[in-house]
Amino acid sequence: MAISAAFPFASRYINVEGARIHYIEQGSGDPILFLHGNPTWSYLWRNIIPLVAPRGRCIAMDLIGFGKSDKPDIDYGYADHMRYVEGFIHALGLQNVTLVLHDWGGAFGFDYALRHQDNVTGIAFMEALAFTFRWENLDTFKAFRTPEVGWKKICEENVFLEQLLPGLILRKLSAEEHDAYRLPFPTVSSRKPIWRMPNLLPYGDKPDDAYQAVKTIEEGLSVLRMPTLLLWAHPGTVITSMERVQWFRERLRNLTVVEVGPGLHYIQEDQPDAIGNAIVQWLEKTR
């Protein structure tokens, strides 16, 4: 199937912690919750959800401060995001959840799963944050964590949306697709949530609450009992290199690994059919 720029989903909203959280959904049955990362929103899943919807109630939320969700005046720290993700699951009354995770959605989803194993029936993940970092090959993000430099580059120059996002996709985004990703962040101040996330990255030089939370995930993966699915593209990025695939194999006791083809970080924009079909096949075997 051709990759489409269209976003043919009705917007839905639910109140969580006094803020409106935007989400889309398609299908029926047990919930399949899609969690995005930085700087994307539910638009990332537009070509995957229609493939998976015959297997369950597909729901993609926009993290607080992202997409069409509200942007309250909060810190946008790790605990903030977890509070809204967990609040969203509770507000919708989601039970027997399958999680589909990318980027920071990986940390939030694995965090939830470790604390609510009885409510998570499976986890599919790709280019997902679930481990702490060292600085090798990540100098760009080190610069983002320098206060004045990071704010200027991310909020004023908008480099995440104008350079990093398209630069971590193999194909060229259409103008319509790129505009859809720009849409939630039209002003300098609206980009604060994007700016905060590099400052949360779990590097050993900054053992703050985000680092400790991801370290807990890293150390807890081996206790997860539910089926898991790792979707990886080549060459991928530092987040999911071939070495990292093996790292996950050694820790997740019930792991299936599927290579979906060429891709970098935002692999949903290069391989949506392969991702969607792999999730469907995995669900057919594990549910």
- Choosing from 103, 111, 269, 270, the catalytic residue is 103
127 has catalytic annotation: yes
Looking up residue 277, the CATH number of its domain turns out to be 3.40.50.1820
102 has catalytic annotation: no
- Choosing from 127, 177, 269, 270, the catalytic residue is 127
- Quick check: is 162 in a domain? no
Of 227, 14, 25, nearest in space to 113 by CA: 227
| pLDDT, tens digit (0-9, with 9 covering 90-100), for 71-125 | 999 999 999 999 999 999 999 999 999 999 999 999 999 999 999 999 999 999 9
| pLDDT, tens digit (0-9, with 9 covering 90-100), for 150-185 | 999 999 999 999 999 999 999 999 999 999 999 999
Burial classification of residue 65, based on how many CB atoms lie within 10 Å of its CB (0-12 exposed, 13-18 middle, 19 or more buried): buried
265 has catalytic annotation: yes
- Quick check: is 149 in a domain? no
**Phi and psi (nearest 5°) for 4?**
-105, 145
- Quick check: is 115 in a domain? yes
- Choosing from 22, 81, 102, 265, the catalytic residue is 265
- Quick check: is 38 in a domain? yes
- Quick check: is 238 in a domain? yes
- Quick check: is 27 in a domain? yes
Beta bridge partners of 12: 23
Can you give the pTM of this predicted structure? 0.97
- Quick check: is 92 in a domain? yes
- Straight-line distance from the first to the last Cα atom of the chain, in angstroms, rounded to the nearest whole number: 26
Domain containing 95: what range?
Answer: 12-134+206-286
Number of domains in the chain: 1
- Quick check: is 84 in a domain? yes
Return d(Cα 190, Cα 171) in angstroms, integer: 27
